[in-house]
Amino acid sequence: MRSLITLLFILLVCTCVRAQEDKDARPLVVCSASIFADMAEVISGDLVRVESVVPIGGDPHIYEPTPDDVRLVSQADLVLINGLTFEGWMNELIANSGTRAKTVTITEGIGTIESEEYANSSDPHAWMTAANGVRYAENVRDALIELDPFNKEVYDFNAGLYIQQLQDLDAEIFRQIESIPAARRILITSHDAFRYFGRYYGIQVEAALGTSTDAEVQTDDVNRLTNIIRNSGVPAIFVETTINPKLIRQLATDNDVIIGGNLYADSLGEPDSPAGTYLGMLKYNVRTIVAALRGETGDVGVGLGPSSAQQWLLLSIILAVMAGAFGFMVNRLNRGIA
């Protein structure tokens, strides 16, 4: 009986190990950033394993790859990148990994906006419109089909549903933007990630930093934004989740406007947040922008220090602790003298 139980246990363990191996045997698709990983996950329908190099909340412009990233890319069967100088470090990472995976640039076929800062370079933030998102989805679908032609029908079907959702969202974004008074259709953000969004949906976009976050803010940029805020009467400006809000907070304070929200540009939000998917990110950004520019929200408080009430509470706690410590020491001294 004991031998039979042992044999059954070994068979169970082997079955579990084999199941795990089968699961891990799925093709590995490595994406440079979370936005593209989400697209790949939706379209693949769990038929491939998808990983993002830059973690959620990370800034792909200035990301520094780790040894784990090298190992991850070396194991990839397919690598998906945005290109357009978005993740320039990715080329070196791929070369250093020695991977045999095909690298696909998923902005292929998108009409790009030329950079105003650098010659012969383009704004990389093409995913910021749902219309461009359709092209991203088509490129991801085609790359998956080439990797795994046996499941072509699945990828075609999933991509078709996804593209329809993007097209529906595209029309909805236009409707929402049109609800903002024309004079207030000015989007002021931390860095220039919304130019595709602004040009396509009809909203003026201004930013403190250029298309890359790896730059210094100039005095002229601050003065330019200050003049725009004062001349337009725009009620709100915005920060981005991957960028320090200090500068935008100072602009808001100096010009008596609110920070209308945290926008997502270079990274998705956490999985359980409203911006945890690419579709969710676009929806959240639009709702936030529209509500703030229509004057329907208050300051979100990003970049603020403690309020006066919070400062008094903190001071009271510190004084109470100090008084207690002083009383304890006096009591100990008195007992020692006695």
For 9, phi and psi rounded to 5 degrees? Answer: -65, -45
Contact between 214 and 201 (Cβ < 8 Å) = no
Residue 170 to residue 191: CA distance in whole angstroms:
23
CATH superfamily of 2-174: Nitrogenase molybdenum iron protein domain (3.40.50.1980)
Question: How many angstroms separate the Cα of 272 from the Cα of each of 15, 49, 169, 183, 300?
Answer: 33, 20, 20, 35, 20
Across the chain, which distance is largest between two alpha carbons, in Å?
90
Q: Which two tokens stand for residue 119?
A: 């010659």
Contact between 162 and 43 (Cβ < 8 Å) = yes
CA 125 distance to own-chain centroid: 11
Per-block mean pLDDT, blocks of 10 residues, the chain (338 long): 43 42 79 98 98 96 96 98 95 97 98 79 94 98 98 98 98 98 94 93 88 62 91 94 88 94 96 97 98 95 52 55 62 62
Residues 6+ apart with CB under 8 A from 261: 236, 238, 239, 288, 289, 291, 292, 297, 300
What's the pLDDT score for residue 7? 39
Q: Does the global pTM surpass 0.85?
A: no
Q: Which two tokens stand for residue 61?
A: 């412009």
CA 154 distance to own-chain centroid: 27
What's the pLDDT score for residue 326? 60
Q: Which CATH number fits domain 182-293: 3.20.20.140, 3.40.30.10, 3.40.50.1980, 1.25.40.10?
A: 3.40.50.1980
Q: How many CB atoms sit inside 10 A of residue 303's CB? A: 17
Contact between 224 and 206 (Cβ < 8 Å) = yes
DSSP state of 323: H
- Look at residue 145 and give its three-state secondary structure: helix
Contact between 281 and 245 (Cβ < 8 Å) = no
Angle at 222 between CA 200 and CA 189, to 5 degrees: 35
Contact between 197 and 203 (Cβ < 8 Å) = yes
Residue 180 to residue 289: CA distance in whole angstroms:
9
- Report domain extents, the chain: 2-174, 182-293
For 231, phi and psi rounded to 5 degrees? Answer: -80, -30
DSSP state of 213: S
Residue 52 to residue 41: CA distance in whole angstroms:
11
What's the pLDDT score for residue 190? 86
Hey, do 2-174 and 182-293 end up sharing a CATH topology, with the first three levels equal?
yes
What's the pLDDT score for residue 242? 81
Residue 95 to residue 160: CA distance in whole angstroms:
34
